Chains A and B, each alone.
Chain A
Amino acid sequence: MIRFDQATKRYPDGTVAVDTLELEAPSGKITVLVGPSGCGKTTSLRMINRMIEPTSGTIWLDDTDTASMPAHELRRQIGYVIQHAGLFPHRTIVDNIATVPFLLGTDKKKARARAMELLERVGLDPAFAKRYPAQLSGGQQQRVGVARALAADPPVMLMDEPFSAVDPVVRDQLQDEFLRLQGELGKTIVFVTHDIDEAIKLGDQVAVLRVGGHLAQLAAPAELLSRPVDAFVAGFVGRDRGYRALGFSSAGTIPTRDEPTVAMGESLPTGGDEWLLAVDGSGAPQGWLHLTDEPHGAVVEDPMLYRGGTLATQGGTLRSALDACLSSPSGRGVVIDESGRLVGSTTAREVLALIEAQVEGAVT
Chain B
Amino acid sequence: MTALIPLASASSSPWHFFAYFMDNTSKVLGLLWAHTWLSVVPVVIALILALPLGWLARRYQWAYPPMMSLTGLLYTIPSIALFVLVPPILGLDPLSPLQVPIALTLYSLALLVRVVADGLAAVPQETAQAATALGYKPLGLFFRVELPIAVPVIAAGLRVAVVANVSIVTVAGTIGFKNLGQLFDEGFKLSTDTPYYPPIVLGIILCVLLALALDGLVLLGSRMLTPWRRAVRA
B104-158 with Cβ < 8 A to chain A: 124, 126-127, 129-137, 140, 145, 148-149, 151
Q: Is the pair B124, A73 in contact by a Cβ cutoff of 8 Å?
A: no
Q: Is the pair B134, A84 in contact by a Cβ cutoff of 8 Å?
A: no
Do A103 and B233 contact each other (CB < 8 Å), given the known contacts A86-B126, A87-B127, A91-B228? no
A92 to B226, CA, bound (A): 12
Give per-residue flags for A269-291: 1 if the beta carbon is below 8 A from chain B beta carbons, else 0: 00000000000000000000000
What's the least CB distance linking A345 to chain B, in Å? 45
What's the least CB distance linking B149 to chain A, in Å? 5
Do A51 and B134 contact each other (CB < 8 Å), given the known contacts A90-B226, A90-B228, A134-B228? no
B5 in the interface (beta carbon within 8 A) = no
Q: Is the pair A88, B145 in contact by a Cβ cutoff of 8 Å?
A: yes
Closest B residue by C-beta to A51: B133
Q: Is the pair A100, B127 in contact by a Cβ cutoff of 8 Å?
A: no
Q: Is the pair B127, A88 in contact by a Cβ cutoff of 8 Å?
A: yes
B81 in the interface (beta carbon within 8 A) = no
Q: Is the pair B134, A89 in contact by a Cβ cutoff of 8 Å?
A: no
Number of interface residues of A (CB under 8 A): 29
A108 in the interface (beta carbon within 8 A) = no
Closest B residue by C-beta to A103: B135
A239 in the interface (beta carbon within 8 A) = no
Q: Which residues of B contact A89 (CB under 8 A)?
A: 124, 127, 149, 228
A82 to B129, CA, bound (A): 9
Q: Which residues of A contact B140 (CB under 8 A)?
A: 103
Q: Is the pair B136, A86 in contact by a Cβ cutoff of 8 Å?
A: no
Do A82 and B149 contact each other (CB < 8 Å), given the known contacts A73-B135, A75-B134, A103-B136? no
A residues adjacent to B (C-beta < 8 A) = 49, 51, 72-73, 75-76, 78, 80, 82-92, 99-100, 103, 131-132, 134-135, 145, 148, 158
Interchain residue pairs A-B with the least CB separation, the first 7: A86-B130, A76-B135, A86-B126, A80-B133, A75-B135, A132-B231, A132-B228
B residues adjacent to A (C-beta < 8 A) = 124, 126-127, 129-137, 140, 145, 148-149, 151, 226-228, 231-234
- Give 10 A-B pairs besides A76-B134, A131-B231, A135-B231 with Cβ atoms closer than 8 angstroms: A51-B129, A72-B136, A80-B130, A85-B130, A88-B131, A88-B145, A89-B124, A89-B149, A132-B227, A134-B233
